[in-house]
Structure 1
């Protein structure tokens, strides 16, 4: 496949909208190739220089324009034909540029850079059309089109005494960047609060490696490395077979769980010995009992023989209690409530 050569500047469009920029670029490149004299009247260029200039001109034309001037071999004739066809851009561009300059306002742009590009583009078009814009006119256009809420700000910039528009543009861009940074820092966290302190990385356990180090004495290598069968020893190999940690062939072994299971087998009633004397439930002590007070009073009355036996084996954590024979002491509960009233 033939490698397509990249053009040093855009080709002339068929509509001629970029004719002004194209002419400037073409003259500079022809001069750099020392063949600029081929497009001048009365030139005495050689045939080799003319052929080189024609090839260079055609390479930077739109495909449709290339077909229109395919039989033109003299670069001077091609240059005059293109000028006659597209040199009317001044008359076309001038009304549009004047209208843009009239409606140009600084407050209509969100970014200063966007406004800077727009005003310089319009000024270049007016200068090409023979209506140059001075630095003072660009400065005054910017001052007069500030937002009405920024009238104090525009007066401050006016009093700075800028003589070139580029100086004002740089000052506005710097102020805009500082304002954005100020808003960013303000919105980072509420006013009056401090940033969270950094967490010490040594206090965080790596979840990927697991926690295999436990304190305790026992046989093993090193200090606090978890090797050997010491007190509190625990081994977990990559959490394998985690769905069945107690099953056959499991790689999880916990000495404390094993000892606990052994005690349970030797004394099956050991767990059932924890009975709360306040409510009569099993499984917790009185100092951690969460049974409501009125239900505890009913239980205390029932064990004195004033009510039927109350079954309080099940209770809810919080403010409610679920019993198996609640209906047996609801009558006493209503009686106690009536006495209190």
Structure 2
């Protein structure tokens, strides 16, 4: 009996299409490896490098053997990477910070997303773009942008908007990694408060770690913990977006389909978080899954870059730049005032 025939349909289709998908996936993986090398040897953000390097290979997504594999990687590998983020989350993280700080983080995330939604419409960028950028700034940068983009109704600007958002939050996060530690000294924050501020306001995990540990081990550990609480909110936010879009009957202008009631990658995220909370995920396995998640997202963003024209991204306009910068300042002001 053919073993492939016994596999679930969701797994069987990619396996049967492997010869078609492999060229595009392979080139995206090579770009991701190059981006990682540049990041480790020259200090540039890996996500940003993967996106920019991918854009230089956009011609591969237009025709030829790589087209289907690039599309698959940009969609399915992205969802797989987001699902694996759940292995880093546990109830213990929540208990370590206390209800007051968690409440503040949740309120700040909700307020930033609402601000992005309203400002996006006011600036003529639309509610999709507002939710995408607001969620990316509020939660966890490029990873959140990719997860949110997966459930938003698609239109002709979807790939460009995602690439711009990843580019924007990564650049702003790198700038914050340098500037925010200086600001915490100017504000007179103690070590723990500094860690809270950095973890609550810098977009990407890597930059949070860099900023926090540049001050002290305590600040770095606190910043990382606070940042992971923001990551915890990714699944609930994506689920709420999906439910709201379905309730309003909104579908893709490309395919006409609505997002699923419970996206599969959200189910995976929550399942891994639950298993980790119950102590059923050994620390070594959790570290392995976290590394796998990082690589999957890096490969996926390389593929997203290949589907995006750099010239088109640069034409997004001043309103888009103003929006993502305003959201970043808005989030920082909330925590400066609160702390």
Of Structure 1 and Structure 2, the greater helix share is in 2
Q: Which range, TM-score by smaller chain?
A: under 0.3
Structure with larger RCO (C-alpha < 8 A, sep 6+): 2
Larger Rg: 1
Q: TM-score, normalised by structure 2?
A: 0.21
Q: TM-score, normalised by structure 1?
A: 0.20
